[in-house]
Structure 1
Amino acid sequence: MSEVGNSPRWLAVSALAKIKDGAYSNLQLNQLINQHHMDRRDINLLTNMVYGVIQHRLTLEYWLAPFVRHPNQIDPWVHELLLSAVYQWQYLDKIPKRAVFNETIEIAKVKGHPGIRRFVTGVLHQMDRTGLPAFEAITDPDERLSVTYSMPIWLINELRDQLGADKMQAIIASLNQPAKQSLRVNTALATVEDVTTALTNDDLTVEPSEISPLGLVVTDGQAINTEAMQYGMFTVQDESAQLVVPTMQLNPGDQVLDACAAPGGKTTQIAAELDADQGGQVTALDIHAPKVRLIGQNAARMHVADRVNATELDARKAASEFGDERFDKVLVDAPCSGLGLIRRKPEIRYEKSLQDSLNLQRVQLSILSAVAPTLKKGGIMTYSTCTILQQENQQVIQAFLAEHSDFEAVPVTTARELKTDRDTDSLSIYPDDYLSDGFFIACLRKK
């Protein structure tokens, strides 16, 4: 393969074309990084370009539109090549425009025919001569917001209706910032100090999380490649996600149901709080066999497999499988639209609709209702999602409580006393609050 074919710029364009066709961004990136031997600088450029183009796609499309008369008539990879050139030109300050244009034209020359090279060269030179269209030219205020922040109009409207214009704008502005590399220390094996020392010794730069006592944020280096990761001293998990399990108020001997468990991040966090010698056990369900195996593998890596029973089962069949009042605590980390993860999975913003949230609301409510009988009286059922819309959060809890008078909401508390001025029992973490994932947590006690 030519040098151009191995360059992070070409690999980014290749990945973007596949992601546009439905592939997952994180899986595409991992595959490319594993296949090609790149240094840290090239990995950073590749990652930055792929996520950057996806994050800013609506903005980049707006800038490119005046220069490409018939976008449907050009090959998808050529379209992604032009978007990636505009992205580098506008967002990557340290790369000179000349280098961006030259490399883009070189890729067009090597990967395409002479007509493609001439077309790409012409588009770039015309953009350079005339400049890019201004956002101010967009007269409709919602469309202007959509293009400026590369967010779908339906989501802008929904967030404004639910949270107000200022909060909506703060959220959508924050979602184009890079996601933090956050870790959760495995207390079954190590302390925060142990992991900090191990990673620092491997030349990584690490800071404590401001929102999770078990959290660390890596600001330089790749934690996933370290021996501490392989040995199970920590797992990669967002800071907001780490808040869920502590709200369950676990005891070492508890029998716990994790109703929607894969890939097992919260399962292993639950298991670390339990003691197998005291009978502590977490039954972790998933409907798909490969995901059940993944839960088992994560439990083994984290040295908590003796406390994890990974089971292939639809959570909606839990009561018939386990009977009534079997578990001390239940976690429903429900399937959701994932809109709180846009910073980490930027393509979500273009794939979801309001109807998806309404469809998921029915699923979420059915899971809560199905597992409720398995909880012992006095037990806590924790409901969590990684989305930020009330349709999948507050409205689900309101509907559940209206149908189940034997449950009551109890205040969600956190070790760092987050958002104690709120007027709700549930806790909503928005992406702009701490620059972590958006998350919702509610705790329900069986009377």
Structure 2
Amino acid sequence: MSTNKSNPRSLAVETLERVHNGAYSNLQINNVISASEMSEKDIRLFTNIVYGVIQHRLTLNYYVQQLVSHADKLQPWVIELLDSAIYQMVYLDKVPNRAIFNESIKIAKQRGHDGIRRLVTGVLHTIARRGLPDLQQIKDPAERLSISVSVPVWLIKTLTNQLGQTKAEHLLATINQPANQSIRVNRVKTTPAELQSQLEAEGFTVRPSVVAADALVLSHGVAAHSALFKAGLYTIQDESAMLPVQALPLAESDVVLDACAAPGGKSTQIAERLTTGKVVALDLHEKKLKKIQENAQRLGVVDRITTQALDARRVATEFAPQTFDHILVDAPCSGIGLIRREPEIRYEKTLADVEKLANIQQAILDAVAPTLKVGGMLMYSTCTILDQENMANVQEFLATHPNFEAVYVTTKHDLKAGRTEPELKIYPDDYGSDGFFVAGLRKVSE
């Protein structure tokens, strides 16, 4: 393993190796940047290579398998090195091939024996001479689409079945684009207009969100590094993720349950709209509850949030019937809607995982229902785009809870106006935000 703290390509290969062994890409990237001596420009290249290789993993691996006989026998770091070199050649048009060749061969030489160096040199020169293998030679249409957009076949087939060929292909064509950097303005401390001018003074490019109210989309800077973030003037949250709470009909004195609360983005969002009210924020793990409290402290709403370590499936055994004015179930899910922001999700999840999660989600909805007051809203949301975890759960819940009714989910920007269904479905290709599902369920009687 290299000890070079300033070479972005070498560090990218090492990071990809760790991710291949099960580490989370975002945590690894942050750790490497913190410990490195890279310039800002090199940090951007390093981050781009790591996320880019993960996003295009199936495509890049296909190329390597076509170019190297017995590619499956290569050491993982050699595959990561080849993947990262091909990624730069194909997807980074501002990086000259000369630099990619020199650096990749140098890493091969440092980390491997002479045979590895020759192999890497040979593969890169073959691509330069002949170009890359043609994906059109893959005969099966689902497999060809899977390799070209780097999404597993099961997910291609599921999305095609549920959304139709045209929508599925349009969605899949957008998922490897960079994710937006969006923030939620903390109304307790500032206004969108004030914050926008302060951020622009710091050098950010800022535009108001077309998806959510009190949201800004930033570029040319890192939102988490600003003193304004540390002062609690905003929190980092995807635009779509703000919609479930914005759709809750909150009064300032309401007692609200956030059943699956960590890391607390939505708990603090609810708390910002209360004065004498209270959010009861639950999570399974004490450690995660500390994160909620830290966020609440920074945003100035810590006195409005009570945290409790509890499995949301046990809510009815811990809280009396009709305790809460409103309930948010932002359920644990497959996260397929976050595919642009967390690229490895697509390779980690299976259809069996989705079905198992749907059962957990259903159990949580069943458990919280008795604790909601008559007239109160149960807002159900997920960051997935699969029917098994979304519409199927809502239909099952309504069939077994005749004292609830579906309510049209409203948004400040009137998203999906004219839709015929009350639920709100946001896909990653709709607005460039994360995929999200939001359903409003009102309790009409006990």
TM-score by length of 1: 0.97
Q: Residue by residue, what CA displacement relative to the aligned partner does 1:256-302 show, whole Å, maximum 9, x if unpaired?
A: 00000000000000000000xx3x00000001110011111111111
Residue aligned with 2:173, SS = helix
User: What CA distance in whole angstroms lies between the structure 2 residues aligned with 1:124 and 1:43?
Assistant: 24
Kept in 2: contact 1:254–1:328 (CA 8 A): yes
* More divergent stretch after superposition (329-338 vs 69-78): 69-78
Q: Aligned-pair distance for 1:37?
A: 3.0
Correspondence for 2:118 = 118
Residue aligned with 1:442, SS = strand
Correspondence for 1:391 = 388
Q: Residue by residue, what CA displacement relative to the aligned partner does 1:89-120 show, whole Å, maximum 9, x if unpaired?
A: 00000011111111100111122232321221
Alignment partner of 1:74 is 2:74: yes
Alignment partner of 1:242 is 2:237: no
In 2 relative to 1, CA 195–117 (structure 1 residues): closer, same or farther, beyond 3 Å?
Answer: same
Kept in 1: contact 2:338–2:434 (CA 8 A): yes
Q: Aligned-pair distance for 1:127?
A: 2.5
Alignment partner of 1:294 is 2:304: no
Q: Aligned-pair distance for 1:65?
A: 1.4
Kept in 2: contact 1:199–1:223 (CA 8 A): no
Kept in 1: contact 2:2–2:10 (CA 8 A): no
User: What CA distance in whole angstroms lies between the structure 2 residues aligned with 1:6 and 1:42?
Assistant: 8
Correspondence for 1:415 = 412
Correspondence for 1:218 = 218
Alignment partner of 1:52 is 2:49: no
Residue aligned with 1:332, SS = strand
User: What CA distance in whole angstroms lies between the structure 1 residues aligned with 2:165 and 2:199?
Assistant: 41
Alignment partner of 1:312 is 2:303: no
Number of aligned residue pairs: give it.
Answer: 444
Alignment partner of 1:327 is 2:324: yes
Structure 1: state its 5+ residue gaps. none
Q: Aligned-pair distance for 1:3?
A: 8.7
Q: Aligned-pair distance for 1:71?
A: 2.1
Q: Aligned-pair distance for 1:25?
A: 0.8
Alignment partner of 1:272 is 2:272: yes
Q: Residue by residue, what CA displacement relative to the aligned partner does 1:224-243 show, whole Å, maximum 9, x if unpaired?
A: 10100001111110000011
Correspondence for 1:337 = 334
Kept in 2: contact 1:375–1:446 (CA 8 A): yes
User: What CA distance in whole angstroms lies between the structure 1 residues aligned with 2:4 and 2:373?
Assistant: 62
User: What CA distance in whole angstroms lies between the structure 2 residues aligned with 1:194 and 1:320?
Assistant: 45
Residue aligned with 2:247, SS = helix
Aligned-residue CA RMSD in angstroms?
1.3
User: What CA distance in whole angstroms lies between the structure 1 residues aligned with 2:227 and 2:242?
Assistant: 22
Kept in 2: contact 1:170–1:432 (CA 8 A): yes
Residue aligned with 1:285, SS = strand
* More divergent stretch after superposition (122-131 vs 350-359): 122-131
Q: Aligned-pair distance for 1:183?
A: 0.6
Kept in 2: contact 1:4–1:110 (CA 8 A): no
User: What CA distance in whole angstroms lies between the structure 1 residues aligned with 2:418 and 2:347?
Assistant: 34
User: What CA distance in whole angstroms lies between the structure 1 residues aligned with 2:214 and 2:413?
Assistant: 11
Q: Aligned-pair distance for 1:199?
A: 1.2
User: What CA distance in whole angstroms lies between the structure 2 residues aligned with 1:41 and 1:327?
Assistant: 50
Correspondence for 1:349 = 346
Counterpart residue identity of residue 318, structure 2: E
Counterpart residue identity of residue 34, structure 2: N
Q: Aligned-pair distance for 1:417?
A: 0.3
User: What CA distance in whole angstroms lies between the structure 2 residues aligned with 1:40 and 1:251?
Assistant: 45
Correspondence for 2:29 = 29
User: What CA distance in whole angstroms lies between the structure 2 residues aligned with 1:67 and 1:121?
Assistant: 12
Correspondence for 2:279 = 282
Correspondence for 2:378 = 381
User: What CA distance in whole angstroms lies between the structure 2 residues aligned with 1:15 and 1:3?
Assistant: 13
User: What CA distance in whole angstroms lies between the structure 2 residues aligned with 1:212 and 1:43?
Assistant: 30
Correspondence for 1:162 = 162
User: What CA distance in whole angstroms lies between the structure 2 residues aligned with 1:217 and 1:112?
Assistant: 44
Correspondence for 1:425 = 422
Alignment of 1:50-199 (within 5 A): 50-199=50-199
Alignment partner of 1:363 is 2:360: yes
In 2 relative to 1, CA 115–6 (structure 1 residues): closer, same or farther, beyond 3 Å?
Answer: farther
What's the % identity of the aligned pairs? Answer: 54
Residue aligned with 1:129, SS = helix
User: What CA distance in whole angstroms lies between the structure 2 residues aligned with 1:39 and 1:268?
Assistant: 35
Q: Aligned-pair distance for 1:2?
A: 7.7
Counterpart residue identity of residue 441, structure 2: L
Structure 2: state its 5+ residue gaps. none
User: What CA distance in whole angstroms lies between the structure 1 residues aligned with 2:352 and 2:171?
Assistant: 21
* More divergent stretch after superposition (252-261 vs 192-201): 192-201
Residue aligned with 1:89, SS = helix
Kept in 1: contact 2:254–2:325 (CA 8 A): yes
User: What CA distance in whole angstroms lies between the structure 1 residues aligned with 2:286 and 2:104?
Assistant: 44
Residue aligned with 1:244, SS = helix
User: What CA distance in whole angstroms lies between the structure 2 residues aligned with 1:403 and 1:312?
Assistant: 28
Counterpart residue identity of residue 407, structure 2: V
* More divergent stretch after superposition (20-29 vs 195-204): 195-204
Residue aligned with 1:174, SS = coil
User: What CA distance in whole angstroms lies between the structure 1 residues aligned with 2:355 and 2:347?
Assistant: 17
Q: Aligned-pair distance for 1:129?
A: 2.4
Counterpart residue identity of residue 331, structure 2: A
User: What CA distance in whole angstroms lies between the structure 2 residues aligned with 1:115 and 1:147?
Assistant: 29
Kept in 1: contact 2:328–2:380 (CA 8 A): yes
Correspondence for 2:261 = 261
Q: Aligned-pair distance for 1:38?
A: 2.6
Kept in 1: contact 2:64–2:71 (CA 8 A): no
User: What CA distance in whole angstroms lies between the structure 2 residues aligned with 1:47 and 1:183?
Assistant: 21
Alignment of 1:198-217 (within 5 A): 198-217=198-217
User: What CA distance in whole angstroms lies between the structure 2 residues aligned with 1:295 and 1:138?
Assistant: 48
User: What CA distance in whole angstroms lies between the structure 2 residues aligned with 1:15 and 1:2?
Assistant: 11
